[in-house]
Amino acid sequence: MLRVGIVCPYAWDIPGGVSAHVHDLANALIRKGHYVSVIAPAESDEGLPPFVESTGKPRAVRYNGSVARLSFGPLVARRVSKWIEQGQFDVLHVHEPLAPSVSVLACWAAKGPIVATWHSSMDRSRVILSLAKLAQTVMEKVSARIAVSPAAKQTMMEHLGGDAVIIPNGVDVSSFAAAKAMPGWGIEQKSLVFFGRVDESRKGLVVLLEALPKIRESFPDLKVLIAGPGDCKDLLDTLSAADRACITQLGLVDELEKPNVYASGTLYVAPNTGGESFGIVLLEAMASGTPVVASDLPAFKRVLQDGQCGKLFNNEDSESLAQTVIELLNNDEEQLRLRTAGKTRVVDFDWDTVADEIIEVYKSVTVPGLVVEPDMAGQVLGRLGRLRITPEKESDL
């Protein structure tokens, strides 16, 4: 049995790809008999799983093209150091190690076997340049590196050098296998599902809404289900009354209900415009038995095997999206083929398999009798001094 400490930099109770990854990895490791403790920011301690410890309420910060909820500062550093001391971990697994949050503090505050996982894909930018000094203070502590995709690995290599093993995001296939359409939805009527933060531009909801009038010319009774947090009233106001009437908004969806949301659509539409290094939503939809239509981002093309497991359209092209959706809604045989191909594809990403690959990385850096220990307090304070991060600079990350 390994004692594993996992660090999530983003708010645990606000939906996001990294926190979902950490949640599922923790559960997979626990099922395999390992001890797991997760530390993460949280808006509230209420409802946290027993294996999660909160660093306190996070702060909204502009980061990597969106607004992330992060925690930083001396008080958070002390909480992280205490968690490390009490955990007696064989290995510390830090996600998004350069996110200016709990992950950076954990790398600073610990010594011993540390594994870091990169999730993000981003171009060379002011964000990367602003993190150059931070990267130096973090990478000197990391024992092994994982990237969830070739794009994430490329980002890491371009900006930091070195190498990483690619281990993809996982899906708990069994939790999606029994997905059932919600009442009033399903195969009886043509419908589309969108799942994501609705007010985050790179999730591409505006592309879907721009395509909607064209799609409804061929399918006037079409229904659209939009799930995810955020306010999209301004986008919906650009539609005609008839187009607005076909849309149902669910808002934030419980994890237990998520499979049923995917299963409620004839098709799942992923119109994301960029900033995606993987495509976990595609796998979740396929595991739920729903054919996927997605923008032709490199990460999505890899997951969908260049269109073998889902249909691709030209990124940010609403006309291309409309045409692709119309053609697929008119082709029941192709929908059936994609359901079968999708179910087969997701087996490669089942958490039972993915967790075993991550465990092998853990074993490659752990040493019998050696545990992760808190570093001296001066390590954190010294690195803060080297960075000289002020609240004003932090808000611009």
Interval 174-231: pLDDT, tens = 989 889 999 989 767 899 999 998 988 999 999 999 999 999 999 999 999 999 988 8
Average pLDDT over residues 35-62: 90
Helix axes 132-139, 102-109, angle to 10 degrees: 40
DSSP class per residue in 131-194 = THHHHHHHHTT-SEEEESSHHHHHHHHHHH-S--EE----B-HHHHHT--PPTT-STTS-EEEE
Lowest mean pLDDT, pick from 138-147, 149-158, 321-330, 387-396? 387-396
Amino acid at 77: A
Mean pLDDT (the chain, rounded):
88
Report the share of the chain in percent with pLDDT over 90: 65
Q: Which residue segments constitute the domains of the chain, with CATH numbers given?
A: 3-170+350-395 (3.40.50.2000), 174-348 (3.40.50.2000)
Percent of the chain with pLDDT over 70: 89
Asked whether 25 and 355 are in contact (CB, 8 A), the reply is: yes
pLDDT 10s digits, 289-312: 999 999 999 999 999 999 999 999
First to last CA, the chain: 38
Measured at the CA of 113, the angle between CA 110 and CA 117, to 5 degrees, comes to 90
- Token pair 């009233």: residue: 233
* pTM: predicted TM-score of the whole model, two decimal places: 0.80
Half-sphere exposure of 312 (CA within 13 A, CB side): 17
Confidence of residue 155 (pLDDT cuts 50, 70, 90): confident
